[in-house]
Amino acid sequence: MGKSTKLYKIFVYVALITLAISIVIPIAWVFLASIKQNSEFYGDPWALPQGFYLQNFVEAFQKANMGLYMWNSVKVTVLALVILIVVALPAAYVLARFKFKGRGLLNTLFMMGLFINSNYIVVPIFLMLLDGDNALRKMIGHGFFIDNLFVLAVVYAATALPFTIYLLSNYFRTLSSSYEEAAYIDGAGFFKTLLVVMAPLAKPSIITVILFNFLSFWNEYIIALTLIPGPNKTLPVGLINLMAGQKAAANYGQLYAGLVIVMLPTLILYILVQKQLTQGMTVGGNKE
C-alpha cells in the first residue's frame, strides 16, 4: 500500500513538473525575445539575448499605439468589473439567502447561461446595437452603441453575469445565517448587511470572480473586434494588428514586446491573489 502511494506521488510530481515546464518555457522565451535586437532573431532562436534592448517596448508604445490600446483595455476592463460586481453581488445574495416566487426559475436561467459562449452570440448582439444606432441617428443625428468603450464594458459585464452569480450565490450559501441575524438585531437593513457583513465574508469568492473575469475581459478579442471598428481598439485587437504589420516589416522584437505588454498584467494579478483564488474556488464550488 505504501509503495503504490509513493509511486502515485512520483507520477503526480512528474506530471506537475512537466506541465509547469511546458508553460514556463514559452513564457520565458517570449520575455527574452522581447529584449532582443532584430538581428538576433536570424541566428539561434534559443540563444540568450546579448543585452537588454528595451527600445522594443518604447517603439511598441509609440509607433504601434500599444499605449493607447492598453489604456483602452484598462478602462473597459475596470468599468466592466465595476458594473459586474455592482449587479452580481446583490443578485447572488438575494438568490442565495431569500425565498421568493420565481427563485427556482431564475436559478435555472442563470445555470443555462453558463453553457452559452459569448462568442456565439456576438452577431445578434452587434445587429441589436446596430439597430439601436440607426434609430438614434434618425432621432439625434449620431449613434452611441457601436464603437463605444462604455457599451463594450456593459456587454462584457452582461455576458459574465451567469458565471459570477452562480459562484457568488454558492459561496453565500456556505455562510452561517448567524451573521445576518446579529446584524438585523443591531438595526442593520438588508442592503447594509450585504455591504458591511456579508460582502467582506465573501471576499475570497469576490476576488475569484474578479480575477477570472479580468482575464476574460483583458484577453477578449471577438466582441471587441466586432463592436469597436474605429481606432479606439483594445489591447488584444491592437496586438493582432501589430502582428499582421510586423510580419511584413520583420520587426520581431517589437512584436514580442507587444505580447509581453498583454501578458504582464495578468501574470502580476494572478501572483498577487493566487491564495485567495484557490480558497474562493474551493469553498464557492460547494452546493447546498
pLDDT on residue 2: 63
Q: What is the pLDDT of residues 165-208, one digit of tens each?
A: 988 988 888 888 888 888 888 888 888 888 888 888 888 888 88
Query: How far apart are the C-alpha atoms of 196 and 198, rounded to whole Å?
Result: 6
214: pLDDT strictly greater than 60: yes
User: Domain 64-284 maps to which CATH number in 1.10.3720.10, 1.25.40.10, 3.40.50.620, 3.40.630.30?
Assistant: 1.10.3720.10
Domain spans of the chain?
A: 64-284
**pLDDT tens digits along 46-62:** 788 888 888 888 888 87
- Scan for cell 455592482, then name that residue: 86
| Cα–Cα distance measured from residue 218 to residue 241, given in angstroms and rounded to the nearest whole number | 16
| pTM assigned to the model | 0.83
Q: Which three cell numbers stand for residue 18?
A: 512537466
- How many other C-beta atoms lie within 10 A of the C-beta of residue 274? 11
